[in-house]
Amino acid sequence: MHQTFRTKTLITKGGKLSINGLPFRTGETVEVFIRRGKKATRSKYPLRGKMIVYRDPFKSVAVSDWESAK
């Protein structure tokens, strides 16, 4: 069974890379892929993924504000 572990880290001086806390046993063979991370960009939709809270969703609305009721 293949187990995948993903993490982000920074390259230190001299081009060194250090990864701690790997979920593999000592002496186990692993395969390493390194790719450049994506730059953080400001989202076009800043509220995407945010929690929506409805306060009193079943509360009555003001009937006088509805045009169809006039």
Q: What is the mean pLDDT of residues 36-47?
A: 79
At residue 70, does pLDDT exceed 80? no
Reduced 3-state DSSP string for 7-43: CCCCCEHHHECCCCCCCCCCCCCCCCCCCCCCCCCCC
At residue 1, does pLDDT exceed 70? no
Q: What is the pTM of this model?
A: 0.42
